[in-house]
Amino acid sequence: MSKRTWALIAALTVSIIYGVSFTIAKDVMPTYVKPFGFILLRVFGATVLFWAVSFLGPKEKIQTKDFPRIIAAAFFGVALNMLTFFKGLSFTSPISGAVIMVTTPIIVMILSAVLIREKIKVRKILGILLGLIGTGFLILYGKSIGNASNASLGNLLVFINAVSYAVYLIVVKKLMDKYNAFTFVKWIYTFGLLMVLPFGWNEYQEIQWATIPTHILWEIGFVVVFTTFLTYLFNLVSMRELKPTTVAVFIYLQPLFATVFAISLGKDELTWVKIISAVLIFVGVFLATKKKS
């Protein structure tokens, strides 16, 4: 398989993991672990894992002038991104949260055109619009799952997270072109850990580990290992071969996978609206990621 095919598979895997994680994270929060306490757990666990596997990469030294970009990537890709997302998800429903994330490709497309002068093809714009229509159908006419205690605030925080992630995808691209992923991702998470520590420490101390059921502990482990550690590695693999706008388009698949997972658990039902939405999303992603022969 070509490097581009591997990159597309990596991006697809990230979307599946994230789609499943909306419901899993909602199981944990806020009943057993509060949002910021959960973020601290995530980032600390992932930081340890990234340092543990960093020897797999080549021995490279990061130039001092690149550390400001790494700190910016830590702020937008770890701290602001995760804090607003988990806090927002604790207020809104999993599918609503997943659908708001689909604004990211639009934001990335605008920022890429402005900041890195990326040319946007008509086919990619059409693909992004089709994906947006599909996800819009899903949110307007598809039955949502989960309780939403303060949906408008939750949705706003998830939108801030989407903007933050869009900025991260563009900021990290130059690091990808210069270094191996293992060289800098451990530093992104180390700085990210320092940033989230003041927000998450109090909520982390409130966790009653003895009263948490075993299945919830497994779900916490899933979020640390899969949703944080593996997705960041896979995202970096995909970004080495794909443009930020192409990687961002895969976010359209997250609401779809979130809905499929909810249906499989019996928390949602399959309707014609969801089927039509799924077709529009898949066609949109195909058009946006298809490379001209």
Res. 139 pLDDT band, cuts 50 70 90: low
pLDDT at 63 over 80: yes
Answer yes or no: are the C-beta atoms of 38 and 29 closer than 8 Å.
Answer: yes
Domains of the chain, residue spans: 3-289
Task: Give me the pLDDT at residue 214, please.
Answer: 95
Task: Identify the burial level of 5 via C-beta atoms within 10 angstroms of its C-beta, where 0-12 means exposed, 13-18 middle and 19 or more buried.
Answer: exposed
Q: Hey, how many other C-beta atoms are within 10 angstroms of the C-beta on 150?
A: 13
Residue 193: name the closest of 72, 51, 62, 39 by CA. 39
pLDDT winner (highest mean) among 86-90, 125-129, 250-254:
125-129
Those residues whose C-beta lies under 8 Å from the C-beta of residue 130, and which sit 6 or more positions away, are 280, 281, 283, 284, 287
* 262-275 per-position pLDDT tens digit: 778 776 666 777 77
Separation between Cα atoms, residue 281 and residue 255, nearest integer Å? 10
Contact between 242 and 4 (Cβ < 8 Å): yes
Task: State both tokens at 118.
Answer: 């990326």
Q: Is 60 exceeded by the pLDDT of residue 146?
A: no
The predicted pLDDT at position 111 comes to 75
Q: Model's pTM, two decimal places?
A: 0.76
> For residues 96 and 144, is the Cβ–Cβ distance under 8 A?
yes
Phi-psi region of 59 (alpha: psi -120 to 50; beta: other; left: phi over 0): beta
Angle at the Cα of 236 (from 113 to 197), degrees rounded to 5?
A: 100
The DSSP line for 97-110 is HHHHGGGHHHHHHH
Q: What is the pLDDT of residue 145?
A: 46
- Give the tokens for residue 45: 């666990």
**Cβ(279)–Cβ(134) under 8 Å?**
yes
pLDDT band at residue 141 using 50, 70 and 90 as cut-offs: low
Nearest Cα neighbor of 130 from 230, 19, 279 is 279
Model confidence over 67-124: pLDDT tens digits? 999 999 999 999 998 999 878 877 776 666 666 666 677 777 777 777 766 677 788 7
- Rounded Cα distance between 284 and 255, Å, is 14
Q: Are 137 and 273 in contact (CB under 8 A)?
A: yes
pLDDT, tens digit, for every residue of 186-216? 999 999 999 999 999 999 999 999 999 999 9
pLDDT at 181 over 60: yes
Look at the alpha carbons of 97, 234, 80, 46 in this order and tell me if their dihedral is positive or negative: positive
Lowest mean pLDDT among 14-23, 31-40, 194-203, 206-215: 14-23
Tokens of 273: 């609206």
Q: State the chain's mean pLDDT as an integer.
A: 82
CA nearest to 121, candidates 288, 5, 285, 260: 288
Tell me: the pLDDT tens digits for 79-91? 998 999 878 877 7
